[in-house]
Amino acid sequence: MTRRVRVTILGVLAVCGVLVPAARASARTTVVVKDKVVTIKVSVDVFGADALTGPDGQPLVDYWEKIAEDTWNAAFDRYPYCNRYKLRLDVDLRARSRDADDRAGRHRLHVTAPRGGTDWQGVGWNGVPETNPQPGSGDGTRSFNNDRVGTIPANAPPTIIVHEFGHLLGLGDDRKDGVATSGRDGTVMVGGVAGVDPTKPLRIDKELVDRIGTEITKIENEVSCKVALWEGTTHGTNIFPTFIAERGDVVCHVTVDGRFNFAVAPDGKVTGTSTTQYDGYDCDGYSGTTPTPFFGNETARGFSVSTFVAGTGGPTQFRRTGDRAHGTYAVHNADNDYEYTFDAHCVNCDDVNVS
């Protein structure tokens, strides 16, 4: 059933969009999110692998499973998606006889005769069209939406195994007209471009991990790489002694009213600006408006940011509960009796869905 297409010399390819069965959506590649760990489960029936062993003497499916998991998980350990999520690959390969029935909810890989030399043409996945393509790449969600069907030679080297599982994680080929696309030389989704020796490893870089994450955000609402936007107000007073020429020693009462907004990036970095109005109604010279940029980080309890009311110290702590955060800031010393509160709410957290 596999239509062979000759494209490149080494041809580790996804043969796309040629045979279009009435695709039924079933279990395919699935995702489970828990505590910022995103487990990608790939279930594949491997037809014709029932009597085959890998070079380590173990069943062939166990050998392939270990290569795919170890290689992708090493990259996932190194590069958290969006600096926020740890991806995990869980491969479930089952060896089946060549004539076994198809099972819905599992990808299907047909083992073909061992190949020699550099002849790896026509290896890969065919079948379902991409209905959710990522612009500018071959990436998309079809492996999450459908069972895929592919072929692979019994002696495919690890680089080809890793590449083909990359397709089941949402990645397309990083090549065009037999050449690696810009900046992708030496990375694993270039597949069979000229000059690649599939018996040597190819790299999984941060871009590939982020691209897998991008595809997962399309099918799993709990995963998001968006920036959270917060806004709020602050209110308070500053009471302090001072000397005013025509009045002598006085105590000033200044009210503090402000607005602020800040963004929380997926890596937890906070950047914002606040505008504070001071009304020193009983003391000339202590009124005005001061814009202040501030920055900080997400913490276990909320946010810790630098001074965001001009003239006070820092850092300032926000305690967060859901999509609201609040705090107080107080300085009591000989020069100042400062006290203010601040309240903020997240304006897009339903959408960003970060916790």
CB 260 within 8 A of CB 272: yes
Q: How far is the CB of 179 from Zn ion (least distance, A)?
A: 14
Please say which residue, 179 or 331, places its beta carbon nearer to Zn ion: 179
Stretch that binds Zn ion, among 7-15, 127-135, 249-257, 309-317 (CB under 5 A): 7-15
Please say which residue, 122 or 191, places its beta carbon nearer to Zn ion: 191
Stretch that binds Zn ion, among 23-31, 106-114, 167-175, 293-301 (CB under 5 A): 167-175
Please say which residue, 191 or 266, places its beta carbon nearer to Zn ion: 191
CB 271 within 8 A of CB 263: yes
x/- track of binding to Zn ion for residues 12-31 (CB under 5 A): -xx-----------------
352 touches Zn ion by CB under 5 A = no
- Considering only residues 176 to 205 of the shown chain, the ones binding Zn ion according to CB under 5 A are 191
x/- track of binding to Zn ion for residues 204-243 (CB under 5 A): ----------------------------------------
Total of chain residues touching Zn ion, rule CB under 5 A = 4
139 touches Zn ion by CB under 5 A = no
Q: How far is the CB of 164 from Zn ion (least distance, A)?
A: 7
Please say which residue, 212 or 264, places its beta carbon nearer to Zn ion: 212
173 touches Zn ion by CB under 5 A = yes
Q: How far is the CB of 125 from Zn ion (least distance, A)?
A: 8
Kindly list the residues in this chain that would bind Zn ion in the complex (CB under 5 A): 13-14, 173, 191
